[in-house]
Amino acid sequence: MRSLDELTGELGLGAEDWVPQGRHVAKISRAADAPGRAKYVAVTAITPTPAGEGKTVTAVGLAMALCRRGRRAVATLREPSLAPVLGVKGGGAGGGRATLEPFDEINLGLTGDLHAVAAANNLLAAVIDDHLHRERSPRLDSASVQWKRVVDVGDRALAHVTVGLGGSAFGPPRETGFELTAASEVMALLALARDAQDLRARLGAIVVGSAADELRVTAEALGAAGAMAVLLKRALSPNLVQTCEGTAALVHTGPFANIAHGNSSVVADRLASQLADYVVTEGGFGADMGAEKLFHIKCRASGLVPDAAVLVCTVRALKVHSGRFDVRPGKALPAALLERDLDAVRAGADNLRAHLDVLAAFGVPAVVAINVFPSDTRAELDLVAELARDAGAFAVAESDVFARGSEGGLALADAVIAAAEAPSGLRMLYELGSSIEDKLTVLATRLYGAASVELAPEARASLARIDALGGGHLPVCVAKTQYSLSHDPKLLGRPTGFVFPVRDLRLSAGAGFVYALAGSIRTLPGLPPNPALRRLDLAPDGTIRGLS
């Protein structure tokens, strides 16, 4: 690994711009007051399968390949949450010969940013309960409080809890619960804040509930926002790490894409856009999720406009979307999935077409990256390339960065360089002035394939409250399954004609969006039947084993 002095010097960072966090990680303190001139490349994917399609591997490999082509490229990626690292997914720092380093540190807490988010979130929860206990003014209505505590592991037993048990000394009993740290509003707003002043304002704007004479009771009104900002001061600075080939990467914030906006921080992207020729950022899950939220939410906050998008797909994922194979989280892939099957590829290609249509709707040139696996046959790879070109891809390139590092991504880098020079212009699919229900309808019908949107009575009541609070002008962040374009993980391929059910709406005033809970999505999942944590162990020499 390269020294921090060498890495920061290559980026043009002075000694006053960074603070070492051990031997191979640094906090970057330089301000990014405005976007730079770098080409901005968004990496997204088709609807993922439980096995994962290698989006992070592709993003890391592409950044390395661009550097190999003589362009200074910086990857900006999310911090892994312990919930998926210890659950079914495993590590979130790439794999093979396309990894971020130090791999173990990045996957297991890095510089403690997620812990700072949890501390700030839970401090507000403690202040709320103390406020209720002391019956302070404004007299907060406990039934209106939706703010929950957070934890960074999948612990379903905490999803619904009752606090205040034990008598009057412990405050009034009330029902509440826990969410994942990565799903919290504090994580979302940290990722969207431009600087310390913006962070402080967003924290103060968090709506915690209402009172008899005040519809909007905020974290500012409870006196908690200042202390929360102090706890998050260090976490606001991006983390500089490196790829396994010694090129620079910024890893910062980690909002989930199936619940929050699913993108790394505005601060990291703006900083990278000043330091590099190309910024390669990754949105979580498919183009209907991370990419849509990048365009509608993050780009509005950052001022950056994507010059190109990379849509990652795999032969095996297209086969899964044919509906002919039973693939489940934590289970071995069916042997038949790894055999040549051109008919299954054709049958599942509708999902690829749907995601290309998503990117086309936003006006961003799309390069399809076929992430190559050893089981792929030449006939299958050629068929995917043909289908992608016929569906409107700007270019198609095979990516073999897992096995070959940057050398395996040169064709993809060349395609991205060409796409980033092509005419483009980001088009938003809805105006902020339209109603929340209209925004939901646009997303559901134009991107997901739904025929209509159905708001449950609870969602209708929440919508009226959000409108009364003045939140109707905010963008919408849909929380739904990542395994389908729809709300139902069983609907593979490109489902159409379904009713998209929204069971509730919540105002995230600090983050600056309204998020809709669709289908059966949960904000605190549990552990899978065979979690990755069972493979982890510490060797006598201190080496961590089983992290992948």
Q: What is the distance between the alpha carbons of residues 147 and 206, in angstroms, rounded to a whole number?
A: 9
The pLDDT of residue 397 is above 90: yes
Q: Which of 458, 509, 501 is nearest to 479 (CA)?
A: 501
Residue 385 pLDDT: 98
Q: Write the CA distances from 510 to 4, 185, 203, 208, 239, integer angstroms.
A: 34, 7, 6, 10, 23
Question: How much is the pTM?
Answer: 0.95
Mean pLDDT of 356-361: 97
Q: Where does the chain hold its CATH 3.40.50.300 domain(s)?
A: 31-78+255-421
Q: What's the 3-state SS for 404-427?
A: HHHHHHHHHHHHHHHHHHCCCCCC
Q: Write the CA distances from 473 to 37, 354, 403, 434, 435, integer angstroms.
A: 30, 28, 47, 7, 7
Q: What is the distance between the alpha carbons of residues 544 and 532, in angstroms, rounded to a whole number?
A: 13
Q: What are the residues whose beta carbons fall under 8 Å from the beta carbon of 262, sequence distance 6 or more? A: 78, 255, 256, 283, 284, 285, 289, 290, 293, 294
Q: 3-state SS of the chain: helix, strand, coil percent to 5?
A: 40, 20, 40
Q: Work out the pLDDT band at 530, boundaries 50, 70, 90.
A: confident
Q: What is the distance between the alpha carbons of residues 348 and 337, in angstroms, rounded to a whole number?
A: 12
The pLDDT of residue 528 is above 90: no
For 239, other C-beta atoms within 10 Å of its C-beta total 24
Q: Write the CA distances from 376 to 150, 237, 442, integer angstroms.
A: 41, 41, 37
Mean pLDDT of 355-378: 97
436-518 has which CATH code? 3.10.410.10
The pLDDT of residue 366 is above 80: yes
Between 120 and 49, the higher pLDDT residue: 120
Length of the chain: 548
* CB-count burial class (<10 Å; 0-12, 13-18, 19+) for 434: middle
The pLDDT of residue 333 is above 90: no
Domain 31-78+255-421 class, CATH top level: alpha beta
Mean pLDDT of 430-445: 97
The pLDDT of residue 330 is above 90: no
Residue 383 pLDDT: 98
Within a 13 Å sphere around the CA of 417, how many CA atoms are in the beta-carbon half?
18
Between 342 and 530, the higher pLDDT residue: 342
Mean pLDDT of 331-352: 93
Q: Chain-wide mean pLDDT for the chain?
A: 95
Q: Outline where 135-218 has alpha helix (H).
A: 185-192, 196-205
For 445, other C-beta atoms within 10 Å of its C-beta total 15
Q: Where does the chain hold its CATH 3.10.410.10 domain(s)?
A: 436-518
Q: Which residues of 367-393 are buried (b: 16+ CB within 10 A; e: fewer)?
A: bbbbbbbeebeeebbebbbebbeebeb
Q: Where does the chain hold its CATH 3.30.1510.10 domain(s)?
A: 113-227
Percent of the chain clearing pLDDT 90 (strictly above): 86
For 142, other C-beta atoms within 10 Å of its C-beta total 18
Q: Are 410 and 68 in contact (CB under 8 A)?
A: yes
Q: Which of 179, 256, 184 is nearest to 524 (CA)?
A: 179
The pLDDT of residue 329 is above 80: no
Mean pLDDT of 92-99: 94
Q: Which residue has the tokens 């790439």?
A: 94
Q: What is the distance between the alpha carbons of residues 64 and 71, in angstroms, rounded to a whole number?
A: 9
Mean pLDDT of 434-439: 97
pLDDT in tens, 98-142: 999 999 999 999 999 999 999 999 999 999 999 999 999 999 999
Residue 327 pLDDT: 86
Q: What is the distance between the alpha carbons of residues 354 and 407, in angstroms, rounded to a whole number?
A: 30
Domain 113-227, CATH homologous superfamily name and number = Domain 2, N(10)-formyltetrahydrofolate synthetase (3.30.1510.10)
